[in-house]
Every structure is written in C-alpha cells, then in structure tokens.
Amino acid sequence: MLDYRIETFITLCKERNYSKTAQILCITQPAVTQHIQYLERYYNCKLFEYENKQLNLTNQGKILERMALGLSASTKRVQLLIQESKNKTKAFKVGGSLSVSEYMMPPVLTELLKLTPELNIDFKVDSSMNLIKSLKTGATECILIEGEFDKQELEYRLFSTEEYIAISSKPVDASTLNEILNETLICANQDSGCYKLLTQELSKEGLTINDFCNVVYTNNLTLIKKLVLSGVGIAFIYKNAVLKELEANELYEIPLQKAIYQDYHFVTLKNNMFLKDYLAFYEFAKSIYEKQKA
C-alpha cells in the first residue's frame, strides 16, 4: 500500500497543477501542498519549481518520480496477484504499437497461451507515446514499442532492428525518394512510429509527406497492404511484415539506395520489484520472434 503522500506526489507529477491534483484525489489544495512539503522535508530537497508559471520537477523530483512510479506499479501488481490467488487465475497486462500488434506479437502470444492457457492477457494497442503513459498509470506492465523515447526514466532492452522498405504492386524503377513523389502514398497515422520514421528520412532529403502527389492515412497495417496490392498507391512498411507477398511477387520492393532501419524496444518501469518476471517474458518473446523470422 502506497503512502498517501506518495500518491499525491505521483498525481501532481502527472497533472503539474495543485488544483487539478486536489480535485482528482478529492482533497483540498492546501492538503496537496502539505503532502509535498512533507516529502520535501523528508528528502531534504525541492521536488517542484515554477519556471515561466509552469510547474516542473527538479532533478531530485525526477529521481523520486521514477522510484515512486516503480513502487506504484509493484503495488498494483501485488494487489493483482492477491486477487488472482483467490480466483485461481493469472493476468498479464502488456502493450504494443500498431506494427507490433499486427505481426510481431501474434506468434508470441500464441506460444504463451499454449504454455499457460489459464493466463488472462490484456493486450493494449496504441501509439508509443500513449503506451509509455499507460506504464506510468499502471494500465500496462510492460510494452513493446518503436522509435525514440526517454531512456533515462525507463528500463528497456533492444528487442529487434527492422528494415523499413518502400513497396508497390508492380516493379518501380526508382532509387531515390524524389523519384517516387508522383505516387499516392498509403501512410500510417501521424502518431505512429512508422510515420515519424518516414518524416525523419524525408526531412534528411529536404522533403515532407505533403510532397507526395496524394496521401492516404490509416491506422491499420493490413489495410495498407491491401491498398498497395490493389495498385492504388505505394507504402513504406517493415520488410518482415510483407515477406510472403514479396516472395510471391504480389508486392515489389522499390530499390531505394538508402536503407532505413528502426529499433524496437521492450520497455517497463525502473525500480520495479517484478522486473525479473518481465525480463523473463522479454527473453521468451524475443526467442519466439527470432524463430519466426528465421
């Protein structure tokens, strides 16, 4: 059970507003102030400071936030384990980005459920940014995401490095991004790791998404593949997601000169008493995925 002052601190870290924190916790604003002042006296440091009327964590506050979030996640996991012992069930809350859910996790979860059929899996699909938020609130216990994130505040392991390629329903003779701007681009939504990676690569060439003659957005990788297969446009996608279609000559890789790669990371909170269990899942998931790729 968390100390109520730590719960106040965690909420204030998230809201960055004393009034909103008081409303959420159903206490008075002076009580929030008293809780924070108690922690500052206890740890003999300032936890928050105002800069341009914005409430920010100090460096010491950031350290306490990481510790408190880990403790909070551990506490919620303990509560879940106690409930499971009553119901004789097992539960696991994990999350993944769109591409992870579409082609990385299905074989992993299949094998996991074969080994532990009594396991209740709650798999959350969202953007990397929202999944990191879900870690901090306890909505997920560990996540598999793509792209950049703040590595100082989280525990992480490299899961896989994936090649990112341009595909078409017919052979396209192009070696640079400029040569395919006359195509309709079928693109993942703007909060996805795929979109961010593509915009970064285009930016290196002085280009943007809007330089394509037309852009169609969707948050469904299967739909992206089907639209490209129908011949209405091209797309950028992780190569392992379309290997079968490439081998069957249903889709064709556009032979761009510059290869593009993206790292996927397994992420959980630091200072978590269940870290060993989560890393065991990481090793299991990584081994299953690497077998599938081979």
pLDDT computed for residue 255 by the predictor:
93
Confidence tier at 82 by pLDDT (50, 70, 90) = very low
Q: What is the rounded CA–CA span in Å between residue 122 and residue 139? A: 9
Look at residues 186, 139, 150, 154 and name the one whose alpha carbon lies nearest to residue 167. 186
Please check whether residue 10 is in contact with residue 61, taking contact to mean a CB–CB distance below 8 angstroms. no
What is the pLDDT averaged over residues 88-95? 75
Look at residues 234, 181, 252, 250 and name the one whose alpha carbon lies nearest to residue 211. 181
Q: What is the rounded CA–CA span in Å between residue 155 and residue 193? A: 19
Confidence tier at 274 by pLDDT (50, 70, 90) = confident
Confidence tier at 290 by pLDDT (50, 70, 90) = confident
Confidence tier at 208 by pLDDT (50, 70, 90) = very high
What is the pLDDT averaged over residues 140-151? 89
Q: What is the rounded CA–CA span in Å between residue 165 and residue 235? A: 8
Look at residues 241, 238, 225 and name the one whose alpha carbon lies nearest to residue 169. 225
Q: What is the pTM of this model?
A: 0.69
What is the pLDDT averaged over residues 197-201? 92
Render pLDDT for 34-62 as a digit per residue (tens, 0 to 9).
998 988 898 899 999 988 889 999 988 88
Look at residues 200, 157, 155 and name the one whose alpha carbon lies nearest to residue 177. 200
What DSSP element (H or E) covers 132? helix 128-137
pLDDT computed for residue 73 by the predictor:
67
